[in-house]
């Protein structure tokens, strides 16, 4: 009986998916490659803000967990090594500083307000990197 119901539900879901796919808008099916590339580009622009928020939240969380582990070490040094709390504090600090380091790297490479081009001289030949 269970096998019959499982097969029946698979058939019903397959019919539902086929119906949804047949009823799709024809306008969305006619997108060209440039429209798709534009959509991807605009969607990717919000990722640094998302990563910044996640990095700050995880940094604060690891910092609090590190403090709690150090508290556990103070209460019972034989059970909890100091190393566990210190590792969590360092990882939290690294995650908390990650957006600032990322912004500094982006500015120094040239995507920010830094120089637009770097000129490198080599044995009488000048190369310009843009």
pLDDT tens for 74-91 read: 999 999 999 999 999 999
CA distance 62 to 96: 10
SS3 (DSSP) at 83: helix
- pLDDT score of 86: 95
How many Cβ atoms sit within 10 Å of the Cβ of residue 12?
Answer: 10
Q: How does pLDDT run across 59-72, given as a tens digit for each residue?
A: 999 999 999 999 99
pTM, entire model: 0.55
- pLDDT score of 108: 84
- pLDDT score of 81: 93
CA distance 86 to 71: 11
How many Cβ atoms sit within 10 Å of the Cβ of residue 81?
Answer: 13
* Rounded percentage of the chain residues whose pLDDT exceeds 90: 34
Q: Where are the alpha helices (DSSP H) in the chain?
A: 2-22, 26-29, 33-44, 47-75, 82-109
Q: Tokens 């709390």, residue?
A: 85
Q: What average pLDDT does the chain have?
A: 77
> What's the chain's Rg over C-alpha atoms?
27
Contact 68, 45 (CB under 8 A): no
């Amino acid at each position: 009986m269970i096998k019959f119901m499982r097969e029946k539900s698979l058939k019903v879901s397959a019919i539902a998916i086929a119906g949804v796919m047949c009823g799709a808008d024809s306008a969305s099916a006619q997108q060209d490659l440039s429209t798709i590339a534009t959509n991807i580009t605009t969607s990717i622009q919000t990722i640094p803000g998302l990563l910044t928020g996640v990095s700050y939240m995880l940094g604060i969380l690891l910092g609090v967990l590190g403090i709690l582990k150090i508290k556990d070490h103070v209460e019972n040094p034989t059970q909890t090594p100091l190393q566990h709390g210190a590792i969590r504090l360092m990882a939290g600090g690294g995650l908390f500083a990650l957006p600032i380091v990322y912004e500094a790297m982006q500015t120094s490479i040239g995507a920010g307000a830094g120089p637009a081009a770097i000129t490198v001289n080599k044995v009488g030949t000048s190369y310009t990197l843009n």
